[in-house]
Amino acid sequence: MALGAAADKKAEDPVALDLKGIASFTDSFIILTGNQRRQTQAICDAVVEALADAGVRPGHIEGYDVGDWILIDYSDMVVHVFTPETRSFYKLEGLWGDARQVQPKSRTARKASRGRGAAATRKG
């Protein structure tokens, strides 16, 4: 849901890290890039709105006004929205190198797989 909302705002280089058993404060990180402050804020807004529609609200949001690194804390999931320079500087993927990266499917692939699953269900 968060990744789809971010993709709608053209977030780049999405990475999901599974931190279960590695970090005690969260289960996962989602790391996204927006090309400039207005885009990182739009990505943040879209993620927060999409999850709010599902009844999920963040514990807190940090960095929204500056927009170089916006952190959206959902307790079991933390979303990081970076500008390219800030993401490159902090390199969270490297800091959490022990975490398993979960590669998000593209929206096209998700739609195609849902279509195949529906067709298979109808046939069966």
Sign of CA dihedral 109, 110, 114, 115: negative
Distances (CA, A) of 58 to 4, 20, 33, 74, 124: 17, 19, 19, 5, 41
- Which residues, other chains included, contact 7 with Cβ-Cβ below 8 Å and sequence gap of 6+? 14, 107
Q: What is the DSSP pairing of strand 28-33 with strand 77-82?
A: parallel
CA-based radius of gyration for the chain:
16
Query: Is 87 within a domain?
Result: yes
Q: For 28-82, write each residue's pLDDT tens digit.
A: 999 999 999 999 999 999 999 999 999 999 999 999 999 999 999 999 999 999 9
For residue 36, what are the domain limits? 2-119
User: 3-class SS at 67?
Assistant: coil
Confidence of residue 104 (pLDDT cuts 50, 70, 90): low
What integer pLDDT is reported at residue 81 of this predicted model? 98
Number of domains the chain contains: 1
Q: What is the CATH number of the domain that holds 43?
A: 3.30.460.10
Q: Average pLDDT over the chain, rounded to whole?
A: 86
Give me the pLDDT at residue 26, please: 95
Indicate whether 10 belongs to any domain. Answer: yes
pLDDT at 116: 36
8 Å CB contact between 75 and 58: no
